[in-house]
Amino acid sequence: MRLKKTTLSSLISFLLGAGWGIALIGALSMFFSFFHSSIFLALLSAVLGAFPGLILVVFLEQVLLKSEMLVEMKRHTRLLEKISHHQT
C-alpha cells in the first residue's frame, strides 16, 4: 500500500483485492466451462472472463496514482512556498 493509512486507502486496497479475485474467478470459471470444447476456446474465454476484474484493477490503480500525485504536488507546493518566503 502506497498511501497513508486512511479510510480511502483501506477501501481502495479492499477493492483491489476484490478486483483481482473477480478476475481470477472469472478466468477460472470461464476456462473450466469451455474446457470440454477445446483448449483454444477455453483460453480465449478465460481471458474474456478475467477482463471485468482487470478493468476494475486498472481503474483503482489509476485512482491510487492520481492520489499519490496529489499528495506529492501538495508537498512540492509547500516547499516552493517556503523557498519563496525565505527569498523575500
Instruction: Give the start-to-end residue ranges of the domains of the chain.
Output: 7-87
- The pLDDT score that the predictor gives to residue 50 is 96
The span from the CA of 52 to the CA of 73, in Å, is 32
**Contact, 60 vs 16, CB < 8 A?**
yes
pLDDT tens digit sequence for 33-81: 999 999 999 999 999 999 999 999 999 999 989 988 998 999 999 999 9
Size (the chain), residues: 88
- The pLDDT score that the predictor gives to residue 27 is 96
Sequence-separated (6 or more) residues with CB below 8 Å from residue 60: 12, 15, 16, 19
- The pLDDT score that the predictor gives to residue 1 is 43
